[in-house]
Amino acid sequence: MPERKVTVASRVGLHARPAAIFAEAAAEQPVEVTIAMDGAPEDEAMDASSILSLMSLGASHGDVVVLRADGAGADQALDALVKVLETDHDAE
Amino acid sequence: MQKFSGVGVSPGRVLGTVRQMPAPVTEPQAGDQRPADSTAEQEADRLRSASKSVQAQLKARSDAAAKAGNDEAKAVLEATALMAADPMLIKSAVKLIEKGISAERAVWEAGGTVAETLKGLGGYMAERSQDVLDVRSRIVAELRGMPAPGIPASETPFILAGIDLAPADTATLDPALVIGLATSEGGPQSHTAILARALGLPAVVAAPGVEHLQDGVEVFLDGAAGVVVTEPGDEERRLAQTWKEKAGALPAFDGHGQLGDGHRIPLLANIGGASDAVVAAEAGAEGVGLMRTEFCFLDRDTEPTVEEQVAKYQPAFEAFAGKKMVVRTLDAGADKPLPFLTDASEPNPALGVRGYRTRRTDPSVIDRQIQAIGVAAAAAEKNGKGADVWVMAPMIATAEETKEFVGLCREAGIKSAGVMIEVPSAALTAKSILSIADFASLGTNDLTQYAMAADRQLGSLAALNDPWQPAVLQLVAATVLGARAASDDVAKPVGVCGESAADPALAVVLAGIGVSTLSMTSRALPAVSAVLRSVTLAQAQELAQLALGALSAGEARAAVRAKLPVLEELGL
């Protein structure tokens, strides 16, 4: 299954506003995308379009997370979401 | 006609129809089963459609906040709208529905589990757990066909009635729609009362019974006398009409606070940020007697840097170029927790590590803030817009703490360093404290709470938690006397920046006791100024003696008001 490892760029981590932006972007994708902390078992991965899952993940600035998706358009979806995570939304 | 008596906390007489604050959503019973005639699929659909409509309501409020230019509220509402239809929340609730549980109970449990997880993460996430619980309540209310919790939406103005307002409700109150407030709980210094004074809304608190008034009932509310009556007659209509004319006719404050004989009592403003500073300057305030700095720190999970703080302080200083600006250092803890500084698990937060005391557990935050204030003051000066910046620490209890704080300020190049008098021990040792500090400012809200040992949110203790309590006034007098005893020549300034300064009658008493300045919400300046000008210093001193010698807060207030006919004339 295609996956990407990304470092969380947001200074406050995957909290509030950055989490909302990311969840909305994930919901717009044609495929289901999951998110997990790097090194966590794959079956613990959570729905990336859920703001509550993202918040419970508790990823801080500099943490590495793994995004996974399957099916048609999975690669494009992952690339789009990597961009969102690599942006520091608080710096905008 | 029904009459409800309580405590008047913000003057004004209005007529209006009642809208009740909806009762908090109650917990659906554990194990509550879905109706026998519905399938799991139907019940899940019911939940999905309720969650979608809550999401739409929150989204609409977020759009409205964006339109009003309130970006902070917009961001929070947008995130809660997402939570309302969160796929993980719905999925775990549907699992419970499949086991036979009702939609109401299922979303209640699923939301509770998420909130617990967030709470366990601590800090910022723990605070957000409240948002999840709010969303959960909204969905349950929607499923039950009950009104959404929070201030009711309405097209026409109304008098808001209820048990008490929470800080979150006060943030969403629209003063164009709410023309008065009546609550059964809360005291003179509760959130409801503070908000009412800041918005100039007539308000009565601690009036049992008002929480049961029917929606749509017409009432007359008198925020000075502290009464609400139903079926208003001609007399009430006349009083409301007179107030409407008089209150509008009160002259704007001319920027010169004084008694009738010319004795000067500069009137200053309490502000919470640079935008308030602009409003206060326009309202004629002679300076700022209390600049709260929490706005820089709240809603953050990391400490702002010195540069970030300077960028926020400097514009506020420049709005009062050439005038006095008293800055209070961070007052975190108790009802203002900060994830990176205070411990939310203290058993008794009002008596815990709050205000200046946070320096005992983490000195760096306060030290950096003092540094930032010094830098911002110097930068404003360099721009040719320097204010006369004074800095004070909240929750000082001893002369020893005073000495430490004054030392820190001197190192940062701050010329005037003082303390808040909020703890009775500070009032009682005012002579020692003021032989070290350059000034003192009485925070009467906390001083009252600590002197009377009465929580400010409790309606049942409203009569105790009242700044008119003679014991509180005695502590004010002790501070003034201490300041005089600490100095051989001119006594160091003692101001009041608590809510009591905004009560025109109490302002007269404080002036009579000998405080040198009064600082209040900008909106109270015209009324306080008008009433101060109706008395001479000798009369104010006489009224102060009456209040100091009274047997109760109610007696003190009544005795002083009876000698100030101007209050009735102005409808205050």
Which of A52, A54, A88, A89 best tests the B interface by mutation, with the highest count of B CBs <10 A? Answer: A52
User: Which residue intervals of chain B bear CATH 3.50.30.10?
Assistant: 3-21+151-247
Query: Topology of B267-570 in CATH?
Result: TIM Barrel (3.20.20)
The answer to whether B388 and B268 have CB atoms below 8 angstroms apart is: no
What's the whole-number mean pLDDT along residues A40-58? 90
CATH class of domain segment(s) B3-21+151-247: alpha beta
Inspect the interface and report whether the beta carbons of B83 and A19 lie closer than 8 Å: no
pLDDT for residue A91 is more than 60: no
Inspect the interface and report whether the beta carbons of A56 and B75 lie closer than 8 Å: no
Closest CA to B444 of B480, B418, B420: B420
Classify domain B40-144 at the CATH superfamily level.
PtsI, HPr-binding domain (1.10.274.10)
Angle at which helix B553-562 crosses helix B504-513, to 10 degrees, equals 90
C-alpha separations of B543 from B149, B264, B471, B503, B558 in Å: 45, 18, 16, 14, 11
Q: Which residues of A touch B86 (CB under 8 A)?
A: 50-53
Burial class (CB in 10 A: 0-12, 13-18, 19+), B282: exposed
ipTM of the complex in this document: 0.90
In the residue annotation, A15 being an active-site residue is answered as yes
The answer to whether B32 and B144 have CB atoms below 8 angstroms apart is: no
Q: Which residues of B touch A12 (CB under 8 A)?
A: 124, 301-302
| Assigned token pair, A19 | 């989490």
Which SS3 state, helix, strand or coil, does residue B527 take?
A: helix
- Sorted by where each begins, the domain ranges of chain A are 3-87
The per-residue pLDDT for B62 is 84
The per-residue pLDDT for A92 is 47
Q: Which one is catalytic: A4, A15, A63, A66?
A: A15
The per-residue pLDDT for B299 is 67
pLDDT for residue A22 is more than 60: yes
Nearest residue of B to residue A25, measured between CA atoms = B82
- Give the end-to-end CA distance of chain A in Å, rounded to a whole number: 33
The answer to whether A30 and A61 have CB atoms below 8 angstroms apart is: no
pLDDT for residue B58 is more than 50: yes
Mean pLDDT for all residues in chain A? 89
pLDDT for residue B360 is more than 90: yes
User: Which residue intervals of chain B bear CATH 1.10.274.10?
Assistant: 40-144
| Assigned token pair, B279 | 């409003």
Find the CB nearest B301 among A12, A19, A46.
A12
B79 to chain A nearest CA, in Å? 6
pLDDT for residue B475 is more than 90: yes
Residue that the structure tokens 């411990």 belong to: B343
Architecture, CATH, for domain A3-87: 2-Layer Sandwich (3.30)
Closest CA to B205 of B235, B175, B181: B181
pLDDT higher for B100 or A10? B100
| Assigned token pair, B88 | 């993980």
User: Which residue intervals of chain B bear CATH 3.20.20.60?
Assistant: 267-570
pLDDT for residue B527 is more than 70: yes
**How many CB contacts within 8 angstroms connect chain A with chain B?**
53
| Assigned token pair, B510 | 């404080």
Q: Is the dihedral of CA B8, B10, B12, B15 positive or negative?
A: negative
